[in-house]
Amino acid sequence: MENNFFDLKINPENIPHALLIISEDWKETHNQVNLFIKKILCIADSESKSSCNKCKACLTFDVKSNPDFIEIKPDDKGKIGIGALRSDSDTSRGTINILNETALVSNAKIIKICNAEVLTEDAQNHLLKILEEPPKNSYILMLSSRPYKLKKTILSRLTSFSILPNFFNDRPNKFNIDESIFHIISKEKDIADLSDEEITSYASLYEETENSLDFYNYSKRRILDTWNDENLIFRLNILKNNIFLEISNNLNDIKIKNKTILSTLEQDGLFNFLEELISFQALLANKVAINKKIQLDSLFDLI
């Protein structure tokens, strides 16, 4: 796959030291980022937009053994602590170590941080020190779908780009699916692996769920009868997306005639509704034995 996104957005002669890629955790996003990283590491003297795939830097990157590159991912608890950045073990080097060292087989040193929004406060403070005094010929690439969870002091030192997978450019026109649906689906599935029929099914489910929240046709009984199915988590994510939109409009004093029942709630009511929804989703995520219909009934009593 060609790395068209980075070819268009970034001048290879002037690559920012620290990049923030705003995207869901899509397989294709990682593919594009990895192609970009591989090109930076490649030592072949070439004007090609892609890596040579023959030099030691490229070959070691392909087998995940390039000593000038570290990929950091969340731990089993879904967090990235300071230990992951310092690499508090005897078997590997930390971010400061690798970035300050001379590149061993590559043209640069690179750290890739996945799901950067789950960096703990200590980890972010540690990272900030690196960003304040970036070592020569080193790069940090951070991927996040929720960059607002990062400290503003960190965000101010990053050059950010939003990226969508290539297939998004075709499918929205074909199925009349907008970006918001893709983001909600991506919380459960890797969209690149879904068939056209599955995408269409999700689009229909999205429309059906939105309609059940329509202000003029709202019925709690209808929600209780139709939402309690295998798609409940997807429906709750749509609901959460609507709540965030309403809260955002309220905080920014944007007056929009919204068709959903949520528009009838004041700001405090929206926050209470969101808190209850998050608690409900936590029960589902932890596989707690609950009566989903009773939980839904309690949730929508708030409206």
Q: Per-residue confidence at 59, pLDDT binned at 50, 70, 90?
A: very high
Residues 6+ apart with CB under 8 A from 171: 177, 199
C-beta separation of 217 from 211 below 8 A = yes
Q: pLDDT by residue (tens digit) across 95-150?
A: 777 888 889 999 899 999 999 999 999 999 989 888 888 888 899 999 988 787 88
Q: For residues 215 and 73, give the distance between their C-alpha atoms in angstroms, rounded to a whole number.
A: 42
Q: For residues 244 and 129, give the distance between their C-alpha atoms in angstroms, rounded to a whole number.
A: 32
Q: Which residues pair with 109 in a beta bridge?
A: 138
Q: pLDDT by residue (tens digit) across 78-100?
A: 899 988 887 655 545 667 778 88
- Secondary structure (3-state) at 41: helix
Q: For residues 27 and 191, give the distance between their C-alpha atoms in angstroms, rounded to a whole number.
A: 9
**Neighbouring C-beta atoms of residue 244, cutoff 10 Å:** 12
Tokens 């709202």 -> residue: 218
Q: What are phi and psi of 258, to 5 degrees?
A: -85, 145
Instruction: Identify the helix (H) or strand (E) that includes residue 61.
Output: helix 56-62
Tokens 């620290």 -> residue: 18
**Predicted confidence (pLDDT) at residue 4 exceeds the cutoff of 60:** no
Q: For residues 223 and 153, give the distance between their C-alpha atoms in angstroms, rounded to a whole number.
A: 43
pLDDT at position 99: 84
Can you give the pTM of this predicted structure?
0.58
Say which amino acid occupies 191: I
Domains of the chain: 4-163 (3.40.50.300), 172-300 (1.20.272)
pLDDT at position 106: 93
